[in-house]
Amino acid sequence: MSGIYIHIPFCKKACHYCNFHFSTIKNSKSSFIKAVCQELKLRSSEYLSKEIQTIYFGGGTPTVLEVAEIKIILDIVYDFYNVSTNSEVTIEANPDDLDLDTIIALSKTKINRLSIGIQSFHDLDLIAMNRVHNAEDAKQCLKSASSYFDNITIDLMYGMPAMTLDLWRQNLQTAFNFGVKHLSCYAMTVEPLTALEHFIQKGSHPPMDDELAAQHFKVLLEETSKQGLTHYETCSFGVPDYFSRHNTSYWLGKSYLGIGPSAHSFDGKKRSWNIANNSKYIKSIEASVLPSESEILTIENRFNEYIMTGLRTMWGVSIQKIEIEYGIKIKDQLIENATKLLVSDFLIIEDQHLKVTTMGKFLSDGIASELFLV
């Protein structure tokens, strides 16, 4: 199983918390689309023998592009790659971009999954985040999208200092009322060089409260469980047939191809990444030169990544896989390092898989770091 990720580096506005690669200047959009199509052609030889089962448009905000422009890129993928007949094709979108005409147009393309960046159904939250849309936009968008797409996931954020537990419950209930079958829920974090970091440093925004975020996470587990949604990854909740196949391939260590500025690729042993600069990316591709760097992952890198991603999922880390791929010595070291966490009920061993417990889920990344090879 392989996937293609296509990074669209444009946004209408800069959200205060975001540190992804994007630009609010879109005068290079036409040249960018040509460059993405050319990179897809240049790199197709890497995937001649592989079946593409997922395609994911991320960003940035992919729906800043016209539907016709998205279709141009999709047509190149289908012309130059062996795409599965039952592929999952996702596009990230913001509610303000998804008017009824756009939703209908998207439904007539190969796209069969929408990932909508709602973030909150409360206007004060959205204003604080510097989002373009408002709460009514979000609700209207979901109402319209649900008529044309069965597979919809929405993003929600929690952990903001002004968000009470009741407000968070209201956010979740609004999503449930729309019959959403998948949620991605993220704790707001303060990323370097973001507006949010600047506001906190100068005292115009309260700092994040880890204890409040943990309480929000507890409510999230309770409320999604009541709705029958499976918590299959730290931030991901869904009806089993609606799990994100693309993101799951990341967590399970499958290969993927990253297209566009800042996009990463992985083949199981080597990771590569494109330059995070739109102008330099376009110029390089126009010269038929891939603007990327790469590294061969060491055994330690590969082990640590497997621990990090595996413990974030409900499937956990296979002790047998560790022994087969890394040897009995490393497997024994893993069990030894896990002993303290097993005793303190943050980890369990179940069917020869190491998994985080309910108590450990909010701390899964920190727990993973305790098990890393250094």
Q: What is the per-residue pLDDT across 126-135, written as a single tens digit (0 to 9) for each?
A: 999 999 999 9
Mean pLDDT across the stretch 288-298? 96
In a domain, 140, yes or no: yes
329 has a pLDDT exceeding 60: yes
The pLDDT assigned to 198 comes to 86
pTM summary value: 0.95
Whether 271 is in a domain gets the answer no
Burial of 185 (0-12, 13-18, 19+ CB in 10 A): buried
- Residue 13 has a CB neighbour count (10 Å cut-off) of 15
Percent of the chain residues topping a pLDDT of 90: 87
**Per the structure, how many domains does the chain have?**
2
Which ranges of the chain does DSSP label H, i.e. alpha helix? Answer: 29-43, 67-80, 100-107, 123-129, 135-145, 165-177, 195-202, 210-226, 245-251, 278-286, 299-311, 319-326, 328-343, 364-369
Pairing of strands 82-93, 51-59: parallel
Encode pLDDT of 194-230 as tens digits: 888 888 899 888 898 999 999 999 999 999 999 999 9
Mean pLDDT calculated for residue range 235-253: 95
Decide if 286 is inside a domain.
no
pLDDT value, residue 196: 84
The band of 119, judged by pLDDT with boundaries at 50, 70 and 90, is: very high
Mean pLDDT confidence for 304-318: 96
Please, which residues have CB within 8 angstroms of residue 200's CB and are 6 or more apart in sequence?
Answer: 190, 206, 207, 208
38 close to 74: Cβ distance less than 8 angstroms: no
Q: Does residue 147 share a domain with residue 243?
A: yes
For 99-114, what is each residue's pLDDT tens digit?
Answer: 999 999 999 999 999 9
Is position 364 within any domain?
yes
When the pLDDT of each residue in the chain is averaged and rounded to a whole number, the result is: 95
282, part of any domain: no
Q: Is residue 106 part of a domain?
A: yes
Q: Are residue 311 and residue 228 in the same domain, yes or no?
A: no
Residue 191 has pLDDT above 90, yes or no: no
Structural domain contains residue 192: yes
Mean pLDDT of the 76-97 span: 97
Q: Please tell me the predicted confidence (pLDDT) of residue 3.
A: 96
CATH number of the domain within which 339 lies: 1.10.10
Predicted confidence (pLDDT) at residue 1 exceeds the cutoff of 60: no
Domain assignment present for residue 209? The answer is yes
22 has pLDDT over 80: no
Boundary of a domain, candidates 216, 251, 286 = 251
> Which pLDDT score is estimated for 110?
98
CATH number at residue 16: 3.80.30.20
CB 169, CB 120: distance < 8 Å: no
Beta strand 270-274 with 292-296 is: antiparallel
What number is the average pLDDT over the span 262-287? 95
The per-residue pLDDT for 20 is 83
Contact 297, 43 (CB under 8 A): no
